[in-house]
Amino acid sequence: MQPSNYLERLTAPRPAALPKVVRRAMEFIEGHAHLPLTTSGIAGAVAVSSRSLQEGFRAHCGLTPMAYLRQVRLARVHDELRTADPARTTVTTVAARWGFLHQGRFAAQYRERYGLPPSETLRRGSASGG
């Protein structure tokens, strides 16, 4: 048998592919992040139990479906603040549009993820021209 140059690549462990249900749930969340979603609503949309959905997310993403939803929403707020006009837009309005109704908690989560307060993103985005 001839040794292969690709033997190491062929036998190396591979990360498990995301199960189809988790991938579909992620797509559903991304497409419906502006809506008031619940774990049971997401599970129903992809035809699994809430428990199965939560276990799939924990095993394959390391977080819950609602934590993933929060990440998606934070990214949407961030994108919107970067391109918004601070003379016409408030952080509160953008945050509420994406389901963040508790401003203190939202600001702390935003700062943890992006390293600066949302108001700073709004100011900097307009200053850099978008």
Q: Is residue 32 part of a domain?
A: yes
CATH of the domain at 71: 1.10.10.60
Over residues 27-47, the pLDDT tens digits come to 999 999 999 999 999 999 999
Q: Is residue 48 part of a domain?
A: yes
Q: Is residue 9 part of a domain?
A: no
Alpha carbon distance 30, 49 (integer Å):
19
Number of structural domains in the chain: 1
Boundaries of domain holding 121: 18-127
> What DSSP character marks residue 54?
H
Answer whether residue 3 shows pLDDT above 80. no
| Structure confidence at residue 18 (pLDDT) | 72
- Tokens linked to 27: 């797509």
Share of the chain above pLDDT 70, in %: 87
Q: Is residue 31 part of a domain?
A: yes
| Structure confidence at residue 116 (pLDDT) | 96
**pTM of model > 0.75:** yes
Q: Is residue 13 part of a domain?
A: no
Decide which of 123 and 18 is more confident: 123
